[in-house]
Amino acid sequence: MANWEHYIKESTEVLIHYFQDTTKSEEIHDSVFLTIMFRFRGTILKATERICKNRGFDIDVAIEIAERTFKKYGKSKNFKSEEGNYTSIDKCFIAYLFKIATNELNDYYGELIKKQNGQFYDGTENIITEVPQIDRKYLSPEDLIIHDTLLELPYSHQVVYLTYKTHEKEGVNLPKKLRMDLRRYLGGVEQTTIRGYKKEAIDKIENAKKIINKLNSSYEQ
């Protein structure tokens, strides 16, 4: 269990050194991180309240941004006191956290816009590894041709096409994690190869659609 009170009298410099020291135990990291949070949370929350208010967001958003700020630092462990031009390490660290908070608010605003536009990914997206089972008797002749064209594609092309078709949103790329997972699943291929598979699959299916449209036009004449 994290014993953060054990470090409450330590200087900020010592706390940061302990937290960013990879040789320290996980228990020490957890305890020190809580001490850092309790020491600076009030200051950062006041700052996030101010910048959120200026952008039309309420206290709930300010709290979320403050939490995301510490979470981001907790993952990066990347504070360097020599990069700041301040009279104390506390002021330098606060400025560092404030910069993270500003970036997190920008990200939050971007996520909000994407949600409004139906472009937001929530991290639950996964690779589609097989063509869904469909009762062929319910498919129209046109859909049968498209379905059969998909089945005739190489497996790699099927996976790429179905994954993009399921998750792709206009104006944004697939999440980086999903793209990396897809590349690994297909044997560690490059993203350019993935794009090639996708184009080849789309071209095949679009050609099938064109043939269907030509046939339909000839029947109507």
Q: pLDDT for 174-183, tens place per residue?
A: 888 999 999 9
Query: Which tens digit of pLDDT belongs to each residue from 74-119?
Result: 999 999 877 666 778 999 999 999 999 999 999 999 888 887 777 7
**Residue 219 structure tokens:** 């029947």
Domains located in the chain, CATH noted:
4-116 (1.10.1740), 136-220 (1.10.10)
Tally the residues of the chain.
221
Tens digits of residue pLDDT in 25-54: 999 999 999 999 999 999 999 999 999 999
User: pTM (2 decimals)?
Assistant: 0.65
* Side-chain half-sphere exposure of 72, counting CA atoms within 13 A: 18
User: Which is more confidently placed, 140 or 46?
Assistant: 46
d(CA 168, CA 178): 11
pLDDT tens, position by position, 2-23: 577 889 999 999 999 999 999 9
Decide: 197 and 162 in contact? Cβ < 8 Å: no
Q: Measuring CA to CA, how many Å separate 157 from each of 39, 127, 149, 180, 202?
A: 53, 12, 11, 16, 9
